[in-house]
Structures are given as structure tokens and as C-alpha cells.
Amino acid sequence: MGRLTWRPGTVLESVTETPRVKTLTIAAPEWPGHRPGQHVDVRLTAEDGYQAVRSYSLAAPASNGTVMVTVERLDDGEVSPYLVDEARPGDQVELRGPVGGYFVWEPALGGPLLLVGGGSGIVPLAAMLRVHAAAASDVPTRLLFSARSPDEAIFTAELDRLAADDLQLQVIATYTREAPADWTGYRRRVDREMLEEVAWRGADRPLAFVCGPTGFVETVAADLEQMGYAGDRIRTERFGPTGGTP
């Protein structure tokens, strides 16, 4: 712990997840590794010396000296429009971290584990699930994610693959605006009734991680507390504008 230093990073790859979201793989040879749910701060420097820093969730465990961040473009942002629209392989950025220790899950923390994500709030939860699968963790885990439509949902193919391979993992989706014609799952915002059907009972002493827009997170966290979840076992991470329904 202690002072953080900026380390060089080189963009290796940019993958389109949705029209507004991309996953960047960044070579970071000096990166010290991180725990699932932690952040990386990204700093950009303009030609005139102006600098902007933003913090992003790491989407996966570090591997082979690379880190992955999944970034949603906020139209009035200073950093995300560059990362989503402009960043090309070979571009240089600066990274520091990992930062954050509060919104972190590791197999040793146990469960049962409930992950609830709204929109791009799925990103740190996916990092937890990737570690859960890689470690063959026996912690029973349920992920509930909410997206406006399948086109706007992130990582769905990988989540399906993880759920198929990881016997301890159940993935439940809800689509709030548009669902496929043959969709038999939920078609509404996450609410108390849905949580009662999907989430562990409070008596099971679950550990919950909730990530998404501010209103989404506050509603879900309040519902879980009413369902008997201990306040100190509900970890939250909220971001971005309060408008919009994931």
C-alpha cells in the first residue's frame, strides 16, 4: 500500500460489446496484478499537457501482462469518448492501481454469493465470476443482470458459457425494454418480487454485490436489507448519471 505510481500502458485490442461499450485490452508489463472488483485509473494527456483521469472496473483477472477494461461512452465525458471511439492498437495511456478494496470478492470470502448488475454494472461482477470459474470455487453463486435489450447487454455469450461450465453458478437476466420474441424470462426492472424469486434468503447469510447506476443500486440494496440481508454484507458500487433504466 502507499503511494501509487503511473505505469505505461499500450492499447492492444478494442472489441465492440455494444454500440456504446468497448472492451480494451491494454499491455501493462509493470502491472502488479489485482483482485476481482478492483479498479484501474486511466490517465490521458493531451498535446497541450492537459490531463484527465478516470477510474474503471477491471473486467477480468490480469493475464500475460495485460489488463482488460470495459468502458461505456458517456457523451459528455472527458475520457470515455476517447477510449470507446478513438483508442487504437498502439496508443499509449497511463495506468495506476489496482485501487479499491471494498467492492472485491475472492473465493475465500465465501457466500452464498449474490451479484446484481444493471447495465455496464456487470463489468466488475464478471471479473468475480471469471475468478469463481477459474478457481473452481464451490461457493453457490447467482447473478441477476438487467439490460434494456439483448443488444445492449454486455458479456452475454461469456456468461452463458460460464453458467454452462460452472455448476455453482446460475445466471438470470431481465430485459426492461426489448426482449427476443421467444424470451421466457423477466421483462421488467429489478424489483422486490423478482429478488424474492431469484436471490438467496436472508437467513442464508448471503454476501451481495450490487453495481449499476445510482438509483438502481440504491433500490436493490434497500430491497435486500428488507429481505434480511445484513447491511455490512451488501457491497455497492454506483456510477454515472442517475437517468436511464438499465
Partner 1 sequence: MSDDLTIDGNGAAGLLQEVFPFEMTTVRATCDGCGASGALGALPVYEHAPGTVIRCPHCDAVQVRVVRDAGRYWIELRGVRCLEIRA
Provide the binding-site residues for partner 1, judged by CB under 8 A. 1-4, 39, 41, 53-57, 70-72, 74, 76-80, 96-97, 99-103, 120-121, 123-124, 211, 214, 235-242
| Closer residue to partner 1 in complex, CB, 168/238 | 238
CA angle 173, 176, 178 (to 5 degrees): 95
N- to C-terminal Cα separation, the chain: 35
| Closer residue to partner 1 in complex, CB, 179/221 | 221
Say if residue 98 is preceded by a cis peptide, omega within 30 of 0: yes
CB of 47 to partner 1, least distance (A): 20
CB of 40 to partner 1, least distance (A): 8
| Closer residue to partner 1 in complex, CB, 55/168 | 55
Closest CA to 152 of 39, 14, 18: 18
CB of 230 to partner 1, least distance (A): 13
Only one residue has cell 495511456, namely 93
User: How many Å apart are CA 172 and CA 177, to the nearest integer?
Assistant: 16
Helix ranges (H only) for the chain are 80-81, 122-134, 156-165, 192-198, 214-226
| Closer residue to partner 1 in complex, CB, 54/192 | 54
Estimate to the nearest angstrom the gap between the alpha carbon of 6 and the chain centroid. 23
CB of 222 to partner 1, least distance (A): 11
The residues that bridge with 44 in the sheet, in sequence order, are: 52
Hey, what's the cell of 211? 453495481
CB of 138 to partner 1, least distance (A): 26
